[in-house]
Amino acid sequence: MTPEEVKQHLLSKVGQNHTYIPTGFKTLDTLVDGLYPGCVYVIGARPGTGKTTLVLNLLSHLPDTNVLVFETETTREKYMEKFMSLLTHIPYRAIRTNDPVAVETLIQSAEVLLPYKFTVIDKSVPTVVDIEQALATYRPRVLVVDYFQNLDPYVGSRSQRYGDVNVALESVARDLEALTRKYQCSTVLVSQLKRPQEYGSTPTLDDFKRCGKLEEMAHVAVVMYRDGETVIAEVVKNRDGSLGKVRFVGLWSTNRLMEVRHE
């Protein structure tokens, strides 16, 4: 780029959304700065570690932000019930079982959702085409896919030509990277990693190689794992910042993760 092109590029950022969106976790933001448009962020964990809970907590820190969520594991209603549990501190089990007191409290607390601009699409096997159509319709600043392995690996602009699932998923990942740049959103991909008995107890960056090579296209990659009574989110790849660990205490009844410290 010429000096004039650089100048115009910097001027174009003024007053636009070309800035980091803080995650709301202070210690995590010291590592990754936040979510930046056109970049892909990958969160990987073994089953039951708390990766969806981390995403819910992240979204709770994004009022007044246009967010699009593709939820493949549960219904839109259940997803929002978990989010309401987080916002109101009402135990999720009480909401799930229609406890009368919990339901009445939720009704009275419904206004807590007003600042949030959510669109949740609950589809068990969405395609890249589904995602692009939704991006074109809603134009979100943040896109969440929970989780990546549930995407249809054979329907899309390039993936349909591959028979091998891993190769097809790699193609899907590249398509998502291209869509992220095209629509200038921050994309958060949640990835289900293999169980501990298969590849060791603590996940590493190498685990993403078995998930469509997500580590190659990710701007930031985070792995999560349990350490006793706490949960650790470890930044194992960061193109523009530092690597490190953030430790959380899980208040699981209300889907809350509380930061402990940065390591």
pLDDT score, position 67:
98
- Using DSSP bridges, classify how beta strands 186-192 and 142-146 pair: parallel, antiparallel or unpaired: parallel
Element counts in the chain: helices (H) and strands (E): 10, 9
Task: Write down the mean pLDDT value for the chain.
Answer: 88
Distance CA 65, CA 81 (A): 20
Report, as ranges of residue numbers, the positions in the chain whose pLDDT lies below 50: none
pLDDT at 114: 94
| Residues in a beta bridge with 21 | 35
Residue 169 neighbours by CB distance under 10 Å: 22
- What CA–CA distances, in Å, run from 34 to 2, 3, 120, 123? 29, 28, 22, 28
CA distance 243 to 32: 8
| Separation of first and last alpha carbons in the chain | 38
Q: What are the CB-based long-range contacts (under 8 Å, 24+) for 181-184? A: 181/38, 182/135, 183/135, 183/136, 183/139, 183/140, 183/143, 184/17, 184/18, 184/37, 184/38
What is the model's pLDDT at position 228? 83
pLDDT of residue 48: 87
What pLDDT score was predicted for residue 215? 87
- Dihedral of CA atoms 129, 35, 120, 57 in degrees, nearest 10, equals 150
